[in-house]
Amino acid sequence: MAKNETTKQPGWLNKSEMAKSLGISPQAFDKWGVEPIERAGREAFYRVQDVLQNRLDHAARKQQLDAAGTEGIDPMIEYKLMQERLRLTAAQAYGQEQKNQVNDKILVPVPFATFALSKIAAQIGSKLEIVGKTVSRRHPDIDPRILETLEREIALARNIAAQFGDDLPGFLDEYLATMDS
């Protein structure tokens, strides 16, 4: 009965010797997936040349994956990012200048102007409401037709004052339109 026995050749290392020479554990060496050159029973033999080729192939695959992953990235991304940062910085500087002008009372925000002018218009309207009664009390001999005409005109002025706050955005649009031309 002739047995086909494999004998260890010079340059062949078993798994534990190869892992030890590489400075890794046998389990880590198993994960590399290196094919043995020969098996003798439970023992597998490896050549350094095969391990080296395995690692070179692995590095080449990894490099191809990295190159394929960056294909979809815009090569001008750094330039575009710098442009956006510049735009953001300019917008922040403009915003700060506006805030400084408001603090220096050179610039008035439109919402504040609308609020303030609406309050003033409301005060004017409430004052106009009592003008007719004040005139009739101070001048009891005034003709009732004149007083009625006066009250009618005052009511019209009061209505204009009451609508003033609602009309302000339109006035602003009209003003900005004249500034563009």
The β-bridge relationship of strands 12-14 and 38-40 is unpaired
Report d(CA 13, CA 21) in Å as an integer: 9
Q: What is the pLDDT of residue 122?
A: 84
Q: What is the pLDDT of residue 114?
A: 82
Q: What is the pLDDT of residue 40?
A: 84
Q: What is the pLDDT of residue 72?
A: 64
Q: What is the pLDDT of residue 96?
A: 95
pLDDT tens, per residue, the chain with 181 residues: 445 566 778 888 998 999 999 999 999 998 998 989 988 888 899 999 999 999 999 988 888 776 665 566 777 888 999 999 999 999 999 999 999 998 898 888 888 888 888 888 888 888 888 888 888 899 989 898 998 998 899 889 888 888 887 888 888 888 888 877 6
Three-state SS letters, 136-180: HHHCCCCCHHHHHHHHHHHHHHHHHHHHHHHHHHHHHHHHHHHHH
> Three-state SS for 27?
helix
Q: What is the pLDDT of residue 2?
A: 47
Rounded to 5 degrees, φ, ψ at 39 are -125, 140
Q: What is the pLDDT of residue 94?
A: 96
Residue 132's nearest CA partner among 114, 149, 116, 151 is 151
Report d(CA 181, CA 138) in Å as an integer: 52
Q: What is the pLDDT of residue 1?
A: 43
pTM of the model: 0.42
Residues 6 or more apart in contact with residue 21 via CB below 8 angstroms: 13, 48
Q: What is the pLDDT of residue 25?
A: 92
CB 5 within 8 A of CB 40: yes
Q: What is the pLDDT of residue 95?
A: 93
